[in-house]
Amino acid sequence: MKILIVDDEFEMRQLLRLYLQQESYRVEEAENGREAYEKIIKNDFDLMILDVMMPIMDGWQTIEEVRKVSEIPIIMLTAKGTVKDKVTGLSRGADDYLVKPFEEEELMARVQALLRRSHSSEANDEVLKYEGIILNLSSRDGSYMNEKLILTHTEFDLLKELIKHRGKALSREQLVELIWGIEFMGEDRTVDTHIKNLREKLKAAGVKKPIVKTVWGIGYKVE
């Protein structure tokens, strides 16, 4: 597995490199978003760890540019743990976030969980179909009426689980466990932001009726 570290602080890049190489990951570095974007275009990475506050191109701008060319899983690093900062990152296409300072165990748990999801193989149930939506689980490609759906890994997994359990209301806690696993250290409300993004992308793709419905007091479901 090859991971790109994007942070303008040399010491932080070296710390992340140390943690990751101890687990046998291959690591490349970028000092800013522009350098990261150029590396993403030229190379294949399995994951990007992205700082928010950087010169030249900050983390928010970097996500927007990277998402135009790649669906690489992204973990955001932020010194601010406010709900607004987290929502901003998730809304722009990040899959997860980690607040500085952090423990090595938490970083590695998030990295491993996201890599496991993005490389999971589901050969026994390769294609899901629902109301014109087709999800190929082995290639992790999605389409609506034969037009490609551009989804992050988390959005893809949310739609997959809701369609697999269609007719059943899934709580935020259930969705967290299905997608992130029981080791998830974030907040259940993270699901809400990803659901909002998913709905917007389905609407933009031409899905006329709401596919993902809110079940008040419980969570979400697909009819």
SS3 sequence of 124-160: HHCEEEECCEEEECCCCEEEECCEEECCCHHHHHHHH
pTM: 0.68
Question: Token pair of 220, please?
Answer: 């979400």
Q: Which residue has the higher pLDDT, 103 or 119?
A: 103
Query: What length is written for the chain?
Result: 223
| DSSP reduced 3-state for 72 | coil
How far apart CA 46 and CA 26 sit, in angstroms, is: 10
How far apart CA 79 and CA 52 sit, in angstroms, is: 8
How far apart CA 135 and CA 143 sit, in angstroms, is: 7
pLDDT of residue 123: 46
pLDDT of residue 184: 63
Residue 71: half-sphere exposure toward Cβ, Cα within 13 Å: 15
Looking at the chain, the whole-number percentage of residues with pLDDT higher than 70 is: 92
Q: What is the pLDDT of residues 125-162, one digit of tens each?
A: 588 999 899 999 888 889 998 888 988 888 999 999 99
Residue 124 has pLDDT above 70, yes or no: no
pLDDT of residue 178: 85
pLDDT of residue 163: 94
Task: Give the 3-state secondary structure percentages of the chain, helix then strand then coil, rounded to 5.
Answer: 40, 20, 35
Nearest residue to 52 via CA among 111, 100, 107, 114: 100
Q: What is the pLDDT of residues 166-194, one digit of tens each?
A: 999 999 989 888 887 756 656 667 889 89
First to last CA, the chain: 37
